[in-house]
Amino acid sequence: MQKAPAPSGAFAFFEPALGVDVERATKGSIWLLLVVLAALSMLGPFSIDTPFPAFSRMGREFSVSTDDMQLVVTAYMLAFALMSPFHGPISDAVGRRPVMLAGLSMYAVASVGCALSTSLPMLLGFRVLQGLSAGGGVIVSRAVIRDMFEGAEAQRLMSRVTMIFGVAPAVAPIVGGWLLTMGSWRAIFYFLVGVAVVLMALVIFILPESHPRERRTAFTPSAIFGGLVEAGRSPAFHRVSWAASLSFAGQFLYIGAAPIFVMDLLGKGEQDFWMFFVPMISGVVLGSWISSRTSGHVTINRLVSAAMAFALFGALVNLAFAVIPATQGLPYAVIGPALIAVGTGASYPALQLTLLDMFPGSRGATVSLFTFFTLVLNGSMAGFVAPHVTGSFAQMALMALALEIVAVLFWMSHLRHRPGAGGKLMRPKVHPVPTPSGQ
């Protein structure tokens, strides 16, 4: 294998010729990598949550109802889902960075279109373009950690990315509300243009290419779709994917319906979304911290089983609060979703790594197909299910409980079929990768 030029700067520890492992990397270098990857992942929640406080203003301007405004979420998420099977396989063939940069460029253009929209159909069209392009950064960034790291270290770093990323859904609606005080709802989408430009700069100047030429697949339809077909035909992939997706859907039901939950059910205003998102995201961060702290000490199977059981417990608590008149409101209404978030925050990083380890030769395709399932489910939740179960706290809580129960059943099925999978404690290890200059 040809040696890459000697790297410099923050990512010098990824020099292929040295074979340096993670213990020799500086903490500052690792955290810089994590911050960049988390920032790329944040594009998703920022795209969904930042416009929430503006829904009422946008609805009045476009003369549409609150339920119609839920299509702003659904259009983005279903378009994201439609394109998600392709981002990863293409990155397996051409590298991670080119796909990220192409996606971010198109996303910036789409955000300008959203800001200039004069009707709901026009806005939805540009939201579709946003969704088609956002996965270039969001999806592909998830494969980078598994490209570089293995075992307990991969779980630890994936959990830390989730912790940093978890702040975004809490911050995004607060930023959106603040931007509304400064002027029109259109400022929110110009803000997203700025986010895309900053992310492009991070990819260009900081992020190394983690998938070098010698590991890439051929850029042909058979190679691109082969990884998707391989994963899609695997019963184990489906069991783990649906366990993760359905468990997260119990939490996302509240995120996707946040305008209805906060403004209609709780009776709060445009500046009050933090009352829901801060407890929810605190749960995600706590769960991710638990996942990070237990990596290398608790098997993946045991961690996921305990975390999903806790999410189910949170859903039961949520339903109890929702049906008792004295607890139908703040602060009780946000406790249950926060408890569910602790469980999903602890299980999600481990479940993603379980899927990536099933198909090491096509990680991009694997994460893409998993993302497709998750987004179709959550997009359907936001656009088609939420309007029918947001009439009361009890309806939402009952739906969340049903999702958590089915998720646990999928995971139990996986354990019965593959009891040894995820049962080992792996030693941390890092894959050497070239720097951007050696791409």
Select the highest-mean-pLDDT range: 31-45, 211-225, 243-257, 308-322. 308-322
Q: Is 246 helix (H, G, I), strand (E, B) or coil?
A: helix
For residue 328, the enclosing domain spans 9-438
Q: Answer whether residue 374 is part of any domain.
A: yes
Q: Answer whether residue 352 is part of any domain.
A: yes
Across 391-416, average pLDDT: 95
Across 66-95, average pLDDT: 83
State the Cα angle at 402 between 400 and 404, rounded to 5°: 70
Domain tally, the chain: 1
Q: Answer whether residue 318 is part of any domain.
A: yes
Rounded to an integer, what distance in angstroms lies between the CA atom of residue 225 and that of residue 236? 19
> Element (H or E) spanning 150, and its range?
strand 149-150
Grade residue 286 by pLDDT with cuts at 50, 70 and 90: very high
Across 74-101, average pLDDT: 85
* pTM of the predicted model as reported, rounded to 2 decimal places: 0.68
Return mean pLDDT, the chain: 81
Select the highest-mean-pLDDT range: 67-81, 250-264, 278-292, 393-407. 393-407
- What one-character-per-residue DSSP string does 277-344 give? HHHHHHHHHHHHHHHHHHTTTS-HHHHHHHHHHHHHHHHHHHHHHHHSGGGSSTTHHHHHHHHHHHHH
Grade residue 105 by pLDDT with cuts at 50, 70 and 90: very high
* pLDDT score of 160 more than 50: yes
The tens digit of pLDDT for each residue in 25-38 reads 455 577 788 888 88
Grade residue 177 by pLDDT with cuts at 50, 70 and 90: confident
The tens digit of pLDDT for each residue in 324-335 reads 999 988 999 999
Q: Answer whether residue 109 is part of any domain.
A: yes
- Cβ 101 vs Cβ 199: under 8 Å: no
- Determine the angle formed by the axes of helices 235-256 and 393-417, rounding to 10 degrees: 160
Percentage of the residues of the chain whose pLDDT score is greater than 70: 87
Q: Answer whether residue 344 is part of any domain.
A: yes
* pLDDT score of 295 more than 50: yes
* pLDDT score of 68 more than 70: yes
The residue with greater pLDDT, 373 or 8, is: 373
* pLDDT score of 172 more than 50: yes
Q: Answer whether residue 1 is part of any domain.
A: no
Q: Is 390 helix (H, G, I), strand (E, B) or coil?
A: coil
The residue with greater pLDDT, 138 or 28, is: 138
Select the highest-mean-pLDDT range: 84-93, 123-132, 285-294. 123-132
CATH, residue 288: 1.20.1250.20
Q: Answer whether residue 2 is part of any domain.
A: no
Q: Answer whether residue 362 is part of any domain.
A: yes
